[in-house]
Chain A
Amino acid sequence: MSLNLIFAIAMVLISACTLALPELSPARFLFGVRVGARFRKSEPARQARRVYYAHDITGILLTIAIAAAAGLSHIGIWYLVVIVPEIFAGIGYMRANRSLRPFAAPPELASVREADLSLEPDRLPRWMLLALPPFVLPVAGALWVNAHWSEIPARVPIHYGPDGQPNGWTTRTPLHLYGWFIFITGILVLLLAMSIVGYYGARRSPGRRTMLAMMIAVMYPMSLIFSSIGVWVAHHYPIWITLAVLPPFIAAMFWWNHKRSRDPQPPADTTPDECWSVGDVYSNPNDPALFVPKRMGYGYTINFGNPAGKWVFAGFFTGIGLMVGFLFWMHS
């Protein structure tokens, strides 16, 4: 697979994600600002979109220009590919948010709250068991490596260039051959824990189940890709076969999110406008919910005003940091 093709696919995916952002938020929000039902077609809304798209497209074009100038074989370019469009889109989002604030609609009965006391106790849905199959893949991969141990060369690659060719080698050790399976199992455990905490830490609503379903869905391609890498270290095969699941998966998630954001009767939003900042950061010490639906439209976000929310955030990213640190240690 050529570097140009990989670059083109990555840019299409990133551009699609950032360009579609304004259309993914629930209809009553635009760039994190509460707006009326018809506001999206108004001139201020169009102007805010223009501001956002101008930033976003500038970031995309700048990334392409840098890649063309520096060449794709340079590893740093691939970090820029991921970071630059997001930074520009983030700045555009914040500027659009600021431009729309004077047009914010009044809160929709945010002071009135309702709770149903006759509901069943809060339990995870049965389909939560679908979170278990992704754990099978790393176990199966490790068993495959164990069964083929004697066939694995004494010298195995541990580092690869952007062209997919190995540029770092090590001797065949259990750490290097089982490391990717340990890594992805750790990441899956973190995702599963976050899903459960998110479910119990959010108010009852259909969106909460969607969040849980999406978290479980994300576990599948992650498990497949990282388990494949683990097997690939021991036995090279065309890895693009597994990487090819990403574009349709991301497209499906977009469709799902878009469908959900266009719910004609969404549950009432009870988060005060003044508790949202920098576009989509929520902090409300008076709200016991740990997680609330994002106004941007991509799932839920942590309530940073809740001390437990800060601990959950710190715990999750510490866990991710530990797992990434494990990868670096493995490759050192």
Chain B
Amino acid sequence: MSRMATQTGLTGKRAKGLAEFRLIPRIETYPAIVSFAQTPLGKGALLAVFGLGVRYFFPDLPSLLTLLLPLALITFFPEYRRFVLAISPIAIVFMQAGSDPVLLGLTLVVIAIGILLYWCAMCWPHSRFGQRPVAFLLTGFTVLIVLAGFAAPQSLPAMILWGLVGVLSSYVWFIAYALTDRNTKPVQELTLELTAFRPLWGSTATPFPKGAAYLRRIEAKSPEQLAVVQLKGLKLLAWAILLAVLQGLWQRFFHGYLRIPTAEQALAMSVHRTPVAWHLCWESLILAFFELVLSISVMGHRIIACCRLAGFNALRNTYRPLSSTTIMEFFNRFYYYFKELLVDLFFYPAFLRYWKGHKRLRMIFATFAAAFFGNGFYHFTRDWQIIQHLGLWKALLNYQTMIFYNAALTAGLCFSQARQRKPKTAGLFRGHIVPVFGVIVFYCLLSVFEISERMYPLVEHLRFFASLFFIHV
């Protein structure tokens, strides 16, 4: 009996040890390291190690210094954090667009428009604009694209309008977040709002990590908090480098050594009526899914690591996506800040205003507003060069595969939300392994409509999809 108890105890300890095992140690929990990171020597060491690590992603020295110098200032003089972060994006604009006066002028105009809109929303909160500022902003952006489309090609108005569309497309979601901040208490300082406009640590068109109100909540407020957040940033950077190395090895092994085609190649061969074997189609799709997870993880971890070094304890962009047991959970864990953008700017406004008396319809409508309309609008306007090149109508036709993708994703999310209300099945196999497998299969199949989505019409994607199930059309 005692032997059994001892064995059970040992197994329990082993399981606990395994669960607590970390490839990268949790250095932010070691008091000695946290104390050291608060000393001038420790700060210098932390910055040096971070600089060496981040060099992996910034091979050119000027870009590296543009990031590291403000981070060093913030680390040694945290009281000037907001000031440094507020002027850095403007300084970066001058450095990057300084040689192109038109681009510089347009960028400054867009930033000024953003500040003006924010100020108007604050001054007149009960006006039509003050109540729905984001809707006004997005409508204005759409009108600008339509106007640019009508302007005679190569003319001066067309150049200015498309230039404005281009710059605004990279700022529009930052401005939208600033406008939603009008609801937060206390009201944001302008310096913090400027910090969030394409911040120092980098972003895609999606603001990382959200707007100024979020930054205020997650800002380190003491030297100890700053040290902990910075150590977490260093850890995340190490994780990003590890994943980037794995990404390189993955590519070489599967596509180089095993010669499995990429999903783009498999689709292209299907389009040219020389399809690859069915198992290679599946293999290429599964590989593409994992490659996408890896690349989004590396990109997000790098940005959030830099954000944490600046003293903001932001959540990771990608967090254990492969442990998701529902479609909804994967969507949440895979690209967190894009999902948050859709939720904050499309889902909540729709959910809080419409179909209040119809529970299920309300949820479906809000999900449609976010995953179908918001997602579609985001990608359509982000790729504004295609609209400029093809014209509005042809660009919309060219977008058919993405529209189908968004519709399928929305249906999947609605289905997942409906199922989420039911109690979860217990057991490792039925409660975890089967659902995780189902989620991966769903997103693998969905990715058929994401690969080369602008290159071929929807019918070619459907043909490739059908061929996965031995249906040859």
A and B from one complex: no
